[in-house]
Structure 1
């Protein structure tokens, strides 16, 4: 038995022990972790004990809840698994949700909906709340409601010294500023408090178009976004589905465009706003209409089953018809590029407006976000997909924004790559906060 075991509410797993691999399993099945120790925490006291143990033994600390952000294997140090800290409570009168570090967005949506309230959630119900919020977060209501981290009211954090602090605008204000978009290296967040919003009606969903209409819809949508109202959030997903038996028959071997739409308002007004998009081309599947708050994940219909994954992302300046031409030349039904799908999200609106007191979110000036999903074949992840993504990035380079946001930054290898996720002044301030709260670098994070 490990020396930590007797002092924990949770459990400790060493390499080779039963439960070690299962505790580390995340959403991306292509990544397998093999640290020196895993502490499955069940309380704040467990986190304190784990951090202090790691500091005494010179072990780097990393944190995992759902494993959605895993890109590289962890091969040393101590991993704190927070998945058991998954409590969610809602104070309907205050409009506040208190959320544990291991909770996923789906649980928060379900807890808030009976009160007519909603979190400004991510697109997937399976993504962990805390990791997503610390990176800013661009969800299906981004244009009308802003970054998800704008709704963070406070966080309970275990520092690298083992202290438990409450980070709010009034207590630990610099740490609180950093937690709203600064991502990691700031301590171990064990819980957050998030402001909920009242959404009496939601008109949302998606329109799917067949291959013959993909170009026309993409071009029409790009033109439509130039004057789109700030209270409507849209995105497009262009997908080239393989002809494989695990897919539904209506998707196998097909090239499709799905246009997502979300308007927090009445069906009558939503129908009026969506009418120009419905008219772009014949709609193959119309799944756009009045939506219950509990069904918000259907807007993007992100996969919830773990699978091998590889992605690349960036933020974009305003795109135009020249962009559509380059896009269509690279990704079409007969193209050999090894991508499963490419998503483009329309930003702007509230995403451009920072919160009172400011935040560490990067990318507020961007007009669009793009995310490439590689073919789910791990043999392509090391060389083929990075090379293809680099070529794609070069081709659309005229529209790639000079800065990104950390939740869209993938595979950074150098300090400069890492720094691109924030404006220069924001990154410099984050560096100072990290040095203050973790001068010895106990919490592993960053690059270069």
Structure 2
């Protein structure tokens, strides 16, 4: 039974192309929860974490089972209408105009198999729920810097989290996917069952199918030594230069990033950090805490911290390391990969966004990669060899939006001497062919394209179009 009212359906339907109207009409009799523009639930399910990336699909199917995903894909294929997928509102890249949105929020199963150290997670589950469920068993799932994001979306993008150097890509922990491929078939993908599909789902985002559940290995890690140290912007040169050398010496048990921040003078930000330029050093050590304390000593000695929140912490509180905001905001994001980040690069970054620079970015982060990221099973994640990633965020306030965009281009251009081609799937907020060419090598893109034609012969999946052209 559909949840929309007949009046809403009639009003909206008059604006559809015939194929779109046919698809929506067929879905009304095939799925339990169909939401159209004007419905309250439609509005709720189309909210995005980056409100500059508004989505306006023809309709939202709030699926309750893999069978409903299959039915939606088959109806869309028959009608010639594309299909997109969402779970939490993070990672939106397209308007989804003329598309059906499959929303997986209701697929919320979560099972922890503590004795065997693995979990089964539905496509609607966020990382915070997994951490909470695993913590009583001393187990941890390899989440990202924010625990508010969906598990499946993060893993299909590879997953570079705050334990990446010690434990590798989060997608390397995937045991199996339950997925409905673009042809509407319900399949299971693992290293031994549909292995080519399994390869493509780890890094290929939604280009091959809609994942309904994932099974992941958990690691025995009740606590870590980690947190953030904040320095005043006046110490930017000393802190960034020291960090650039320190990371070269840091063992794999340590994962770190550093960010130049300009936080607004308002709640909920701590008073010492408001309305000024600060430097946030993020650090997680998965080995002996006493050794971790020795490792961070050199950074603590560079300058007097404004806030020092590094110490032993439960892994379930790992989101506090980055303290990523959860509320939707208007953002402009840009990123690039680097082969190195030495003292010369640090000096350029200070010139670009340090306390004396004129910049419109709220944050510019440099994240060290390497370590265990460079190892792991073959997958569609194409840039394991990158040494660092730069990620910049600016607030797209209408009065300065053009300045924010131009400023991000200035930063990317100035760092070009140290950059390498490529980008990470979860940090590149564009879509289509341009996105695919950026995040995949030509060989990976070609292999994904071949798989897309096999598992989605009609090209119904919106996310797959970038690898097919």
Select the residue among 394, 406, 417 that pairs with 1:387. Answer: 406
1:205-264 CA distance string (max 9 Å, x none) = 111111221221111000101121011101111101233466443332111111111111
Change (3 A) 1:168 1:301: same
Name the structure 1 match of 2:187. 165
- Is the contact between residue 52 and residue 331 of structure 2 (CA under 8 Å) also seen in structure 1? yes
The answer to whether structure 1 residue 321 and structure 2 residue 307 are counterparts is no
The equivalences for 1:239-258 within 5 A come to: 239-244=261-266, 247-258=269-280
Name the structure 2 match of 1:145. 167
The answer to whether structure 1 residue 418 and structure 2 residue 436 are counterparts is yes
Name the structure 2 match of 1:281. 303
| TM-score (normalizing by structure 2) | 0.90
CA distance in 1, matches of 2:416, 2:264: 28
CA distance in 1, matches of 2:202, 2:147: 20
- Is the contact between residue 31 and residue 61 of structure 2 (CA under 8 Å) also seen in structure 1? no
Select the residue among 258, 264, 277 that pairs with 2:286. Answer: 264
1:369-405 CA distance string (max 9 Å, x none) = 1100112425544x43332222211110011112222
Change (3 A) 1:385 1:213: same
CA distance in 1, matches of 2:180, 2:210: 5
Q: For structure 2, which runs of at least 5 residues remain unmatched after alignment? A: 1-5, 7-24
Name the structure 1 match of 2:197. 175
CA distance in 2, matches of 1:245, 1:89: 37
Select the residue among 422, 440, 448 that pairs with 2:458. Answer: 440
The equivalences for 1:185-264 within 5 A come to: 185-244=207-266, 247-264=269-286
The equivalences for 1:20-31 within 5 A come to: 20-31=42-53
Q: Measure how far apart 1:200 and its partner are.
A: 4.4
CA distance in 2, matches of 1:89, 1:57: 37
Change (3 A) 1:394 1:270: same
CA distance in 2, matches of 1:110, 1:246: 24
1:146-198 CA distance string (max 9 Å, x none) = 11111111001111221100011111110001111111211111110011111
CA distance in 2, matches of 1:245, 1:234: 26
CA distance in 2, matches of 1:389, 1:201: 37
Name the structure 2 match of 1:309. 331
The answer to whether structure 1 residue 403 and structure 2 residue 426 are counterparts is no
- Larger mean Cα displacement after TM superposition, 25-34 or 187-196: 25-34
Q: Measure how far apart 1:131 and its partner are.
A: 1.0
- Is the contact between residue 314 and residue 408 of structure 1 (CA under 8 Å) also seen in structure 2? no
CA distance in 1, matches of 2:400, 2:120: 41
Name the structure 2 match of 1:111. 133
Residue 291 of structure 1 aligns to a residue in which SS? strand
- Is the contact between residue 185 and residue 434 of structure 1 (CA under 8 Å) also seen in structure 2? yes
The answer to whether structure 1 residue 359 and structure 2 residue 379 are counterparts is yes
- Larger mean Cα displacement after TM superposition, 400-409 or 340-349: 400-409
| TM-score (normalizing by structure 1) | 0.95
Change (3 A) 1:301 1:18: closer
CA distance in 2, matches of 1:408, 1:85: 25
Name the structure 2 match of 1:375. 395
Q: How many residues align?
A: 443
The answer to whether structure 1 residue 65 and structure 2 residue 87 are counterparts is yes
Q: For structure 1, which runs of at least 5 residues remain unmatched after alignment? A: none
Select the residue among 428, 442, 445 that pairs with 2:446. Answer: 428
Q: Which one has a larger percent helix, Structure 1 or Structure 2?
A: 2
Select the residue among 80, 85, 99 that pairs with 2:121. Answer: 99
Q: Measure how far apart 1:267 and its partner are.
A: 2.1
- Larger mean Cα displacement after TM superposition, 244-253 or 260-269: 244-253
- Is the contact between residue 201 and residue 265 of structure 1 (CA under 8 Å) also seen in structure 2? no
